[in-house]
Amino acid sequence: MNTEPTVPLPETMSAPDAEHATLPLEDSILPSSETSDPLAEAPTTASAPSPRTRWAAIVWGLCFAAIAWFGIWMLSDGERHDSVTDWLASLNPGTITAFGLLALGALVLISGLVGLIRRAQRRLANQS
């Protein structure tokens, strides 16, 4: 960080083109080559650890891709589309509740799977 005071900019022209004119670059504004950068001289003793794999993103991405593929496959054919429409119309409140609980259970299952993968990843990182 430079603690020297700033240099004021030169006055601009009062001509009509003054709003489009550029200011000259002064040598006093540029950093001198004599100043040293403490980070450039620091010795590099340890390399950065390798990036870890984001398993949660992979698992959730695969889950959403499978849901999207199944939805496109089910609704891409007219006959399957009609059968899905008839099936949705025949659902009663108890069945809708059961399917909602099933979907919630699937979310909990996937979250637990991601947590187990993360725990295993941390154990492997601590062992090395």
Query: How far lies 122's CA from each of 40, 52, 117, in Å?
Result: 33, 10, 9
pLDDT of residue 17: 58
**pLDDT less than 70: residues of the chain:** 1, 12-21, 23-46
> How many helices (H) and strands (E) in the chain?
4, 0
Check: CB of residue 113 under 8 Å from CB of residue 59. yes
Q: Residue 27 and residue 110: Cα distance in Å, rounded?
A: 61
What is the reported pLDDT for 51? Answer: 80
What pLDDT was estimated at residue 50? 76
Q: In the prediction, which pLDDT does 83 show?
A: 93
Q: Is-contact 110 60, C-beta < 8 A?
A: yes
Residue 44: its pLDDT value, please?
62
* The pLDDT value given to residue 67: 94
The whole-number pLDDT of residue 20 equals 66
